A = this chain, B = another copy of it.
Amino acid sequence: MPTQRPDRASEVEAAEPGRTPSIYEVGRQAGVSVATVSRVLNGKGPVRTETRQRVLDAVAALNYVPHSAARSLSTRRTMSIGVLLPDMHGAFFSELVRGIDLAARAAGYHLLVSGSHSDQAETAAVLQALHGRVDGLILMTPALGGGGSLRASLPRRVPVVLLNDHGNGDGHDTMRIDNRHGARLAVEHLLALGHRAVAFIAGPPDNADALERLRGYRQALRSHGIAAPARLELAGDFAEESGVRAGERIARLDPRPTAVFAANDAMAIGCLAALREHGLNVPKDVSLVGFDDIPIARYLTPALTTVQVPIAELGRQAMARLLHRIERPAGGPAAHAVIAPTLAIRASAIPAGRLAKQSRTTRRKSS
């Protein structure tokens, strides 16, 4: 593609249709070299005020915008960050991306996001395609901890922050929510309220977060000397519908547990609907605690007591750490941060026993 650069520039001064002006045109228009234009644009090196103004005028006249691919090639900086997520469903995702985006934007970075990475091979392909496109990577994939085939495809040259990775991070920085701790908070709250038979609605068995929440549940019970019969651990998959199914089974259990802890809010909502359908009142008959604190949790009736996870904060911190790494690639050994959830106590869990009786009468009245 032989294109005569000088010709091109001299042919037409302003916006030649079909081409976006290059730094050459600007230089020509301003009567300076491309080097000077570049210096003005980047604020590097000394430029006489008058010259600078001429350049700025030319830029404005031509409506010139630097071509980032070219700049990236030259500087080896892209000013963008890749974000790979396991999937794009629900509020969790948008919160996370929001947190990341905020931090990124503040630092002048862009976000290349990509979701639905259930398939390892596909993730690897995307990872490859990102080469030369990003300065860093925020990666959240259940796969890394397991298979490990991904490790090979991880780019060598850019810093990576792993989200909710349940391994050692393999030399990368790591940042995760302490799911187990959150679950313990929830269960201990129920225990403190006097509940002894606490059911659990689990998440997908292959989900690391879900597993941690299950462990937290068991741990809390055990450490209070309470047996956790498998009967009380209901299957679920994080979707509302599975909460409904679990709720139906709970309603029919005999003896019926006085409290339910759902591994996420969506299932808690499903369970709530099912319990109500069966004439049970929450919290009077059954106390209910969720996990995630999705925005509407507080507007349910009753307002849902749930484990609050600072998701946007997770994103923000991940980004901060990543930017730090980008600044100084050899900045010490990998860091592993753990973010602790807190408990948002609302109305869906109340003391057991005392009110359990009252509830029965109430229920009879209203149903």
The docked-state distance in angstroms from the alpha carbon of A233 to that of B99 is 35
**A 198-256 contacts with B by CB, 8 A:** 240, 243-244
Given known contacts A20-B156, A244-B299, A110 and B94 CB-to-CB distance under 8 angstroms: no
When distances are taken between beta carbons in the complex, the residues of chain B under 8 Å from A20 are 131, 156-157
Determine whether A115 belongs to the interface, using a CB cutoff of 8 Å to chain B. Answer: yes
Chain A, interface residues (CB within 8 Å), range: 35 or more
Q: For the complex, is A296 an interface residue (Cβ under 8 Å from B)?
A: yes
- Is A266 interfacial (CB-CB < 8 Å)? yes
Chain B residues near A126 (CB-CB < 8 A): 110
A94 contacts B88, C-beta separation under 8 Å: yes
Contact assessment for B116 and A101 in the assembled complex, using a CB-CB cutoff below 8 Å: yes
Residue contact A110 to B112, C-beta cutoff 8 Å: yes
Assembled-state Cα–Cα distance A72/B244 (Å):
50
Could you tell me the distance between the alpha carbons of A28 and B93 in the complex, rounded to whole angstroms? Answer: 45
Q: Given that A131-B65, A295-B266, A301-B276 are known contacts, is A113 also in contact with B101, CB under 8 Å in the complex?
A: yes
B residues less than 8 Å from A70 (CB atoms): 73, 132
List of B residues within 8 angstroms of A65 by Cβ: 128, 131-132, 155
What are 20 A-B contacts with C-beta separation under 8 Å?
A15-B156, A65-B155, A66-B132, A68-B132, A80-B133, A89-B94, A97-B115, A98-B115, A105-B114, A110-B112, A110-B126, A111-B114, A240-B299, A266-B295, A269-B299, A273-B300, A273-B301, A276-B301, A300-B300, A366-B366
Excluding A20-B131, A94-B94, 7 further A-B contacts by CB distance (< 8 Å) are A69-B72, A79-B129, A88-B97, A97-B115, A101-B114, A111-B112, A111-B113
List residues of A whose CB falls within 8 A of some B CB: 15, 20, 65-73, 78-80, 88-91, 93-94, 97-98, 101-102, 105, 110-116, 126, 128-133, 155-157, 240, 243-244, 266, 269-270, 272-273, 276, 295-296, 298-301, 303, 365-366
